[in-house]
Chain A
Amino acid sequence: METQTQTITYTASLDVLEPIRELLTQTGQEVGLNKKQTYGLCLAVDEIATNVIRHGYDEAGITDGKFDLIIEKNENQLAVTIVDEGRPFNPLEHNLPTEEDLSMPLEERPIGGLGVMMARQSVDEFNYEFSENHNKNIFIVKFSNEIKE
Chain B
Amino acid sequence: MSFTISSEISNKVAILTLGGSLDSSSASDFQSEIQKVAGESPSEMVLQVSELTFMASAGLRMIVFAKQKLGPSVQIYLVKPQDQIIDTLQMTGFIHSVHIVDKYPV
Contact = CB atoms under 8 A, between A and B. Distances in A.
Nearest to A53: B24
Interface residues of B, number: 27
A55 B11 CA distance: 42
B63 A106 contact: yes
A11 B2 CA distance: 19
Contacts of A107: 64, 67-68, 72
A121 B92 CA distance: 10
A76 B24 CA distance: 32
Nearest to A17: B23
A103 B23 contact: no
A114 B87 contact: no
A42 B54 contact: yes
B84 A35 contact: yes
Contact of A111 (B23, B24, B61, B83): B61
Interface size class of A (residues with CB under 8 A): 20 to 34
A2 interface: no
Given A47-B57, A106-B97, A118 B23 contact: no
B92 A102 contact: yes
A121 B91 contact: yes
A40 B58 CA distance: 16
Given A50-B58, A106-B64, A14 B24 contact: yes
Contact of A50 (B21, B23, B83, B97): B23
A40 B61 CA distance: 19
Interface string B52-74: 00101110110110011000100
10 contacts: A14-B23, A14-B24, A21-B54, A43-B88, A46-B24, A50-B56, A50-B58, A106-B63, A106-B67, A118-B88
